[in-house]
Amino acid sequence: MDQAGALREMKMNMMPTAIRQKMHNGNTRVIAVTSGKGGVGKTNITANFAYILSKMGKRILLLDADAGLANIDVILGITPKYNLRHVLRGEKTVSEAVVEGPGGVRILPAASGIPEMVELSKGQKFTLLEELEGLDEDFDFMLIDTAAGIAGNVMYFNMAAREIIVVASPEPTSLTDAYALIKVLYQGYAARQFMLLVNMVGDSNEAGGVYTRLSNATNHFLDLPIEYLGYIPNDRNVPKAVKKQRLLAEAFPDSKATKSMSQVVEKLCRKQPEGYEDGTIKFFGRSL
């Protein structure tokens, strides 16, 4: 029993590395979209990115990793019968919980308003690992919509990804919290590659200013450069799409925000992700 428990613990600790290994063995890019502060449009962006990638012919798995306050299903206007909670309880498999969204995007929804989901236990993380390993479908991209902040779940799912997109707005609180998130991931979890996406700005100059302020802080205090991925402008069609429970890229394909997101997605597709860094692998895969 002691040996079995030790093996289970070892595998659970390796979960983020195992997710990456499984996905990348099939050439799947695992990208976490995260933020230090809520209300910056992270979930909306993630869902639209998934849709745009799908329309480009990519096979997409969208994981709602905001386990306690899920919103992906609300944004998409779908009512899934099962969700991540059923998977973690062992009641359903991931394949049974995954639903098809707009554009053929495959979605693993989460639960909302369930306190037990706010901080996943070791056993729940192990169950999720087992289920993800059992997926038969091949995907080009797995997008992880994390919760906001620096809680344990946020850290865990960020480290399950090979690439991390940090979404921030021009608000001072958003910048402060984005810096805090990057600092914790860098100092506590050895993450070293971050892409900044600036949302809800007037133009490219304002977005550039946001990047400059955050980049100066990470360079000065952490000696850590971050990459500028792009920006998404303010667009009056965004709240219209949200009220309709439709994706902006689907309801308003010619809107300026949709065009900007499409440009960012195209840039992502052109990127060649760098290899894993030693710190990340050692932290989650100490037994490798």
Distance in angstroms (rounded) separating the CA atoms of residues 128 and 123:
9
Torsion on CA atoms 148, 150, 156, 158, rounded to nearest 10: 60
141 pairs with which residues across the strands? 29, 60
Quick check: is 193 in a domain? yes
Predicted confidence (pLDDT) per residue in 124-158, tens digit: 877 787 787 777 778 999 999 999 999 988 998 99
Question: Would you give the DSSP letter of residue 274?
Answer: P
What is the Cα 99 distance to its own chain's centre? Answer: 18
Query: What is the rounded CA–CA span in Å between residue 211 and residue 188?
Result: 23
* Alpha carbon distance 144, 170 (integer Å): 23
Question: pLDDT tens digits, residue range 188-216?
Answer: 999 999 999 999 999 999 999 999 999 99
Q: Is residue 126 part of a domain?
A: yes
What domain range includes position 66?
Answer: 2-283
> Over 50: is that where the pLDDT of 13 sits?
yes
pLDDT higher than threshold 70 for residue 220: yes
pLDDT digits (tens, 9 = 90+) for 89-106: 889 988 999 999 999 999
| pLDDT at residue number 192 | 93
- Phi and psi of 168, rounded to 5°? -140, 155
Tally of domains within the chain? 1
Kindly state whether residue 288 falls inside one of the protein's structural domains.
no
Short-list 21, 4, 275, CA closest to 129: 21
Residue 199, domain member (yes or no): yes
Give the CATH number of the domain where residue 272 resides.
3.40.50.300
Report strand pairing: 60-65 vs 141-148: parallel
With a CB cutoff of 8 Å and minimum separation 6, the contacts of 270 are: none
Tell me whether residue 279 is in a domain.
Answer: yes
Task: List residues bridging with 164 in a β-sheet.
Answer: 32
